[in-house]
Amino acid sequence: MHSRNWQKSSFSGEGDACVHIAATAPGTIHLRESDAPETILTTTPNKLRPLISRIKAHTLTR
C-alpha cells in the first residue's frame, strides 16, 4: 500500500468532521472523510476541478 501524506482541508475548519486530501503518483488525488477514513476516493485533478468549482459557486450564492 502507498504511504499517503494526508492533509486536512482548510475549508473543514475546527472539529472532527473533516475532509482529508493526499496526492501520490503525479496526477492522482485521494480524498477521505474523517468519519469513514477507510473509504478513499481516487480521482485526477481534471476530474476534481469541476466538482470544486461547483461547490464554491454554490457556497458563494448562499
* Whole-prediction pTM: 0.72
Partners of 28 in the β-ladder: none
What nine digits make up the cell of 33?
Answer: 472523510
pLDDT value at residue 14: 67
SS3 11: helix
Host H or E run for residue 55: helix 45-61
pLDDT digit string, tens, across residues 9-62: 776 666 667 888 999 888 999 999 988 989 999 999 999 999 889 888 886 665
Residue 4's pLDDT band (boundaries 50, 70, 90)? confident
Find out whether 48 and 21 touch, Cβ atoms under 8 Å: no
What nine digits make up the cell of 40?
Answer: 478513499
Residues in Cβ contact with 3 at an 8 Å cutoff, skipping those fewer than 6 apart: none
